[in-house]
């Protein structure tokens, strides 16, 4: 069953999940900050946009540490790539147009639900937030329905 669910192995996912959990916990314990990546985009736009939404104190006051956090994610991926060696990069056969459309839907959903899947799933659930639990249930339900609809209509497994 594990081979079916994790054809490339389960260890990288376990290690990655543990590292994310430790990182999020350390950010909260050491600095009292809740890490969520959808806020990164809005806080970064506060540098460039004069729109009132982007000039909120909650966005302007967090943009520097959120930028450092995002940089840490990128550096973590680069470190993983160096550790794994050449030829280990992940790729996709999904077209750029489909990735863009998917990104727009995800961005819209993140704004509509007041946070992204990672923010609600990691930070929200760990703080026992009822709205985050509901958001995660909706995210997962829609994801399962979508994956099954893709198989049903196209015959192609994701």
Three-class DSSP labels, 40-80: HHHHHHHHHCCCHHHHCHHHHCCHHHHHHHHHHHHHHHHHH
According to the model, what pLDDT value does residue 101 have?
92
Long-range contacts of 13-20 (CB under 8 A, 24+ apart): 19/76, 20/122
Nearest CA-CA partner of 33 in 9, 4, 68, 5? 68
Per-residue pLDDT tens for 37-50? 777 777 888 888 88
- % the chain with pLDDT above 70: 92
């Amino acid at each position: 069953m594990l081979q079916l669910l994790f054809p490339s192995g389960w260890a990288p996912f376990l290690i990655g999940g543990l590292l994310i959990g430790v990182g999020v916990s350390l950010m909260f314990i050491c600095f009292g900050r809740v890490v969520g990546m959808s806020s990164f985009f809005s806080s970064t736009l506060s540098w460039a946009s004069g729109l009132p939404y982007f000039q909120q104190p909650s966005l302007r006051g967090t943009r520097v540490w959120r930028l450092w956090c995002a940089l840490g994610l990128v550096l973590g991926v680069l470190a993983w790539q160096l550790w794994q060696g050449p030829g280990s990069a992940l790729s996709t056969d999904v077209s750029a147009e489909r990735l863009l459309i998917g990104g727009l839907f995800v961005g819209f959903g993140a704004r509509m639900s007041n946070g992204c899947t990672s923010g609600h799933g990691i930070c929200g659930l760990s703080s026992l937030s009822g709205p985050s639990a509901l958001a995660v249930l909706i995210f997962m339900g829609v994801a399962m329905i979508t994956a099954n609809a893709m198989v049903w209509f196209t015959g192609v497994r994701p």
